[in-house]
Amino acid sequence: MSDTPPEPAPVIVGDEPGSFPHGVLAERHPAIVRQVRKAFPFGPERRKALDALLASCTDGVVEPLPAGADARDRDRWADWGIDAYAGRSWFDVPWLWAESHFYRRLLDAVGYFGTGAWQGVDPFRPAKLAELDAPETDEELAALDGLADLPADERTRALLHGSLWGNRADLGFRLSGSGTGTQDRVQALVADDSDMLWELLPPAGKGTSGRPRTLCLVADNAGRELVPDLLLVAHLLERGSIDRAVLHLKPYPYYVSDATPADLMDALRRLVAAGGAAAAYGERLWSALTDGRVTVRAHPFSCAPLPYADMPDDLREEFTAATVTVLKGDLNYRRLVGDRWWPPTTSFAAATGYFPGPVAALRTLKSDVITGLSPDTEAALVASGEQRWRTSGTHALIQVRR
């Protein structure tokens, strides 16, 4: 496939009733507001603000940030395009922008950025903790005990797949009640460049230049996705595939279940308390955090409504220095290749050609964006008659550009 930058395809907008993006704006967002309103004993002021957001996100327009907004945040949103979109319907601006801004407004409504009692209270925390405490999490952690007996390469592959399919555990699906939540899903990889990933991350002593090897892991969801992400990082450190890892988390609650530093601490404590092999992984990570081999970033751009092509210079420098940057999940994929109606056979390498170093995407498919399919794979998916292969999380991909 060619690495020449592809002709830009149309940007996805949520203005077409019946489309997936329209459903997110018209159904998922109101469901999230109602759920958050129910989950906390908010007083009249916060309830009024949530009701106003509910009305705005279904029938209203994007509004300028409120007068009380922090000046740095105001400047950021000015850079991120709010002046161009204020006054326009949520359904008429780029879908990526509308969704991202919705979460910023939701945090406003619950007083997250204010100076009152709700300051810093994560409105999604009850759902995140419930997931971390679920019996399924116990089962997944107990299954780690069996991995020790596998040949090294199989164990590595199992942990990669754990991290990949962990991306299905997305609370956004559950809160809207419209997703595929508990249904059986066919596990199918529509692209698998994992060999290329292992060429970038060989075990210690094999084909390495002697330079310290850094993995940037741009995480997605907390709980049952972050736990297997952490296991993978711990394993790669132990295997000597990497010397250090940088975990990129969200600076504030986002897209319901996205992982923040507080969620990392919850996941780590959960691992350490689990006993067995899980605890050993957890303790290894704990000590890697304390001695600086694993570091945590919560860069403002992680919550930006923009593609990674627009990343700021400091982030670009970090990704440039990484042996490989792994981006987890659907939203990061949309931001990596651009939230556009790409023809599915558009080259992934070309769509990510701007990225300043080797990059990998581990994602279950939960929105319309897709690149890097072979013509045969695209034809088979279309012929399968399974209309929702792009959005239902039944399919996944591992794509790598060196």
**Where do contacts with ligand F1X occur on this chain (CB under 6 A)?**
24, 28, 99, 167, 170, 172, 220-221, 255, 329-331, 334, 366-367
Q: Which is nearer to ligand F1X, 42 or 333 (CB)?
A: 333
- The minimum distance between CB 260 and ligand F1X, in angstroms, equals 14
Q: Are 85 and 14 in contact (CB under 8 A)?
A: no
Instruction: Work out the number of other CB atoms within 10 angstroms of the CB of residue 135.
Output: 7
Q: Which is nearer to ligand F1X, 228 or 282 (CB)?
A: 228
Structure tokens, 58: 């279904």
Q: Are 242 and 321 in contact (CB under 8 A)?
A: no
- The minimum distance between CB 32 and ligand F1X, in angstroms, equals 9
- The minimum distance between CB 285 and ligand F1X, in angstroms, equals 22
Which amino acid belongs to residue 338? G
User: From CA 101, how far away is CA 107, in angstroms rounded?
Assistant: 10
Order the strands of the 395-401 sheet from edge to edge.
Answer: 188-192, 395-401, 359-364, 324-328, 214-218, 244-248, 294-297
CB closest to ligand F1X, residue no: 366
User: From CA 367, how far away is CA 338, in angstroms rounded?
Assistant: 12
Q: Which is nearer to ligand F1X, 14 or 282 (CB)?
A: 14
Q: Are 294 and 244 in contact (CB under 8 A)?
A: yes
Q: Which is nearer to ligand F1X, 214 or 391 (CB)?
A: 391
- The minimum distance between CB 102 and ligand F1X, in angstroms, equals 9
- The minimum distance between CB 227 and ligand F1X, in angstroms, equals 15
User: From CA 276, how far away is CA 144, in angstroms rounded?
Assistant: 8
Q: Which is nearer to ligand F1X, 193 or 225 (CB)?
A: 225
- The minimum distance between CB 302 and ligand F1X, in angstroms, equals 12
User: From CA 382, how far away is CA 387, in angstroms rounded?
Assistant: 7
- The minimum distance between CB 21 and ligand F1X, in angstroms, equals 8
Given its phi and psi angles, is residue 82 left (phi above 0), alpha (psi -120 to 50 degrees) or beta?
alpha
Q: Which is nearer to ligand F1X, 26 or 142 (CB)?
A: 26
User: From CA 343, how far away is CA 317, in angstroms rounded?
Assistant: 30
Total count of residues recorded for the chain:
402
- The minimum distance between CB 205 and ligand F1X, in angstroms, equals 35
Q: Are 166 and 227 in contact (CB under 8 A)?
A: yes
Q: Which is nearer to ligand F1X, 221 or 323 (CB)?
A: 221
Q: Which is nearer to ligand F1X, 167 or 325 (CB)?
A: 167
Q: Which is nearer to ligand F1X, 4 or 178 (CB)?
A: 178
Q: Are 210 and 216 in contact (CB under 8 A)?
A: no
Sequence-ordered list of residues with C-beta below 8 angstroms from that of 72, at least 6 positions apart, any chain:
none
Q: Which is nearer to ligand F1X, 46 or 366 (CB)?
A: 366
What's the alpha-carbon Rg for the chain, to the nearest Å?
Answer: 21
User: From CA 375, how far away is CA 249, in angstroms rounded?
Assistant: 35
Q: Are 356 and 316 in contact (CB under 8 A)?
A: yes
- The minimum distance between CB 172 and ligand F1X, in angstroms, equals 4
- The minimum distance between CB 229 and ligand F1X, in angstroms, equals 12
